[in-house]
């Protein structure tokens, strides 16, 4: 058992209000310099929609992530031959138009313009060329709140029934906040010819060594989530760093700290690195269960002993034992990885959204005799859509989580109104009153110290080989050695 520790973030999609406070806080701290104007390490997308960069989920176009090749994994677009041929050109990388040409406005013209009969305006200019832009055709969150638009929603690769966008009564919308997933099997790390990207041994954060990076951009092509960016000014790759200067001192990430909806939880997971490859070789609809099986119980004495042998401190073991992330991902099983079929084993997890609560109507859910929820099969956000987004197409896992979330709401509604609720409703969803109360607390009233449980690090006490050596363990070692 090769036990490793990983910092993980969980997002509750039912609570995201799309305010973009997370994106702005990240932007102000990390990407406010020349060459990084178009970088949004944290962004919030409207779903259904094309996302940022446009259609990043379409791996037939961008060819990111991994594929099963018999009994092993291989990068979808790379190998010895393609690596050499594409050393100076990346045919599958998003173009600037897939993001947007970064722009600003000439506000100085408002007070420097000569006297005239017209009101002066602040004209747009390109932050790359400095030239005036006659027309702006894209920008960050360009399709924000346009899930009903046939231009954007109909192009969402997760949407099986595209007739939904033509029927206003069936249209739905949810927000999807995204950061780098700091995957257990990161394609960006495996694809880098110069080995500039690496996964830290003490917390699993994936970083870019700017001194080593040669700007080949294989990482951008290989990342299926397109969360590695190219700085056109410095010629280096840049990405989300999980706010490691903050988390090393026990503070939570800037995006999580600023979240108005309190949708995020940050904590520690322990996992068995030796089982990562085996789990990733499963079929698409089995990947969620396989990924959960890699996550270990931090209260198991054998797991703790193996973790200590790998240099995991007692402080981190304690944090893993109390981790809100472990409770949501493993104990309650209500959180899911984003597009597990990309086979990078992402470490950002999402709690699926529920339909809007209704007061009356037809086809009410069989569990909701008070007229609170529609039938699961007729929810505004189709199970098929959520399954394609979060479960590799496995609808049963989505339905299981939705039943749990519905039962929790019914229980708390009855408790608040002084009504009685059949215990079978909780039991059939895999809950009892104690676990329902605990889950409700995590979702709603848990204070800062319970939502963010991040142990401080003493990096000077870490083995230098461990700090930068995990790009070579497990599956990454085999894959990179084969290249």
Please list, in sequence order, all residues whose beta carbon lies within 8 angstroms of the beta carbon of residue 94, skipping any fewer than 6 positions away: 53, 54, 56, 62, 220, 226
How much of the chain exceeds pLDDT 90, in percent?
A: 71
Q: Which of 284, 191, 223, 277 is closest to 63 using CA atoms?
A: 223
**CA neighbours closer than 13 Å in the CB half-sphere of residue 101:** 14
pLDDT given at position 480: 37
pLDDT given at position 455: 94
- Are 351 and 14 in contact, with CB atoms under 8 Å apart? yes
Confidence of residue 482 (pLDDT cuts 50, 70, 90): very low
Mean pLDDT of 313-320: 94
pLDDT of 368 strictly over 80: no
pLDDT given at position 461: 56
**CA neighbours closer than 13 Å in the CB half-sphere of residue 482:** 13
- Are 390 and 352 in contact, with CB atoms under 8 Å apart? yes
pLDDT of 432 strictly over 60: yes
Q: Which of 292, 323, 325 is closest to 400 using CA atoms?
A: 292
pLDDT given at position 367: 42
Mean pLDDT of 292-299: 97
Name 124's bridge partners: 105
pLDDT given at position 463: 54
First to last CA, the chain: 26
Confidence of residue 469 (pLDDT cuts 50, 70, 90): very low
pLDDT of 217 strictly over 50: yes
pLDDT of 194 strictly over 50: yes
Mean pLDDT of 158-180: 89
pLDDT given at position 474: 38
Confidence of residue 475 (pLDDT cuts 50, 70, 90): very low
The b/e string for 303-327 (b: 16+ C-beta within 10 A; e otherwise) is bbebbeebbbbeebbebbeebbbbb
Statement: 1-100+137-351+453-483 belongs to CATH 3.30.70.20: yes
The b/e string for 80-114 (b: 16+ C-beta within 10 A; e otherwise) is eebbeebeeebebbbeeebbbbbbeeeeeeeeeee
pLDDT of 36 strictly over 60: yes
Task: Decide which of 298 and 423 is more confident.
Answer: 298
- Are 456 and 246 in contact, with CB atoms under 8 Å apart? no
Could you read off the pLDDT of 60-99 as tens digits, one per residue? 999 999 999 888 999 998 765 566 666 667 788 899 999 9
pLDDT given at position 81: 58
Which phi and psi (to 5°) does residue 8 adopt? -135, 145
pLDDT given at position 378: 73
Other beta carbons less than 10 A from residue 70's beta carbon: 7
Q: Which of 103-112, 350-359, 412-421 has the lowest mean pLDDT?
A: 350-359
Please list, in sequence order, all residues whose beta carbon lies within 8 angstroms of the beta carbon of residue 228, skipping any fewer than 6 positions away: 180, 188, 197, 208, 219, 220, 237, 238, 239
Most trustworthy range by pLDDT among 30-39, 158-167, 470-479: 30-39
Domain locations along the chain: 1-100+137-351+453-483
pLDDT given at position 312: 93
Could you read off the pLDDT of 385-424 as tens digits, one per residue? 999 999 999 999 999 999 999 899 889 988 888 888 778 8
pLDDT of 103 strictly over 90: yes
To the nearest whole number, what is the mean pLDDT of the chain? 88
Burial (CB count within 10 angstroms: exposed 0-12, middle 13-18, buried 19+), residue 482: exposed
């Amino acid at each position: 058992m090769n036990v490793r520790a990983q910092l993980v973030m969980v997002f509750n999609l039912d609570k995201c209000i799309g305010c973009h406070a997370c994106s702005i806080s990240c932007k102000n701290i990390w990407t406010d310099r020349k060459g990084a104007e178009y970088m949004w390490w944290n962004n919030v997308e409207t779903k259904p929609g094309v996302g940022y960069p446009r259609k990043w989920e379409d791996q037939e176009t961008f060819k990111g992530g991994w594929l099963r090749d018999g009994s092993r994994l291989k990068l979808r677009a790379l190998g010895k031959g393609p690596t050499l041929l594409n050393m100076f050109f990346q045919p599958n990388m998003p173009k600037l138009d897939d993001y947007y040409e970064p722009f600003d406005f000439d506000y100085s013209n408002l007070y420097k313009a000569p006297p005239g009969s017209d009101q002066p305006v602040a004209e747009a200019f390109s932050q790359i060329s400095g030239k005036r832009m006659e027309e702006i055709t894209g920008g960050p969150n360009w399709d924000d709140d346009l899930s009903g638009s046939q231009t954007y929603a109909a192009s969402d690769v997760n949407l099986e029934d595209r007739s939904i966008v033509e029927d206003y009564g069936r249209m739905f919308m949810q927000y999807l906040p995204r950061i780098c997933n700091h995957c257990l099997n990161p394609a960006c790390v495996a694809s880098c010819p110069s080995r500039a990207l690496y996964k830290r041994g003490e917390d699993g954060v994936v970083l870019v060594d700017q001194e080593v990076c040669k700007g080949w951009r294989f990482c951008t092509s290989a990342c299926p989530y397109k969360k590695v960016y190219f700085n056109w000014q410095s010629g280096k790759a840049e990405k989300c760093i999980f706010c490691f200067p903050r988390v090393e001192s026990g503070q939570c990430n800037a995006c999580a700290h600023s979240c108005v909806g309190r949708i995020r939880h940050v904590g520690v997971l322990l996992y068995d690195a030796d089982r990562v490859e085996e789990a990733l070789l499963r079929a698409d609809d089995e990947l969620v269960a396989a990924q959960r099986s890699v996550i270990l119980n931090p209260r198991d004495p054998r797991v703790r002993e193996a973790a200590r042998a790998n240099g995991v401190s007692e402080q981190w073991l304690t944090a893993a034992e109390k981790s809100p992330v472990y409770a949501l991902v493993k104990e309650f099983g209500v959180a899911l990885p984003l597009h597990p079929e990309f086979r990078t084993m992402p470490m950002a997890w999402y709690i699926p959204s529920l339909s809007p609560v209704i007061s009356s109507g037809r086809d009410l859910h069989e569990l909701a005799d008070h007229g609170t929820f529609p039938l699961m099969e007729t929810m505004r956000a189709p199970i098929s859509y959520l399954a394609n987004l979060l479960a590799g197409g496995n609808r049963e896992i989505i339905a299981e989580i939705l039943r749990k979330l519905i039962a929790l709401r019914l229980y708390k509604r009855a408790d608040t109104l002084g009504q009685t609720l059949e215990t079978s409703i909780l039991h059939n969803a895999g809950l009892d009153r104690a676990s329902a109360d605990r889950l409700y607390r995590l979702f709603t009233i848990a204070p800062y110290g319970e939502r963010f449980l991040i142990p401080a690090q003493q990096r000077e006490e870490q083995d230098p080989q461990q700090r930068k050596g995990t790009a070579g363990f497990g599956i990454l070692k085999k894959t990179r050695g084969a290249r």
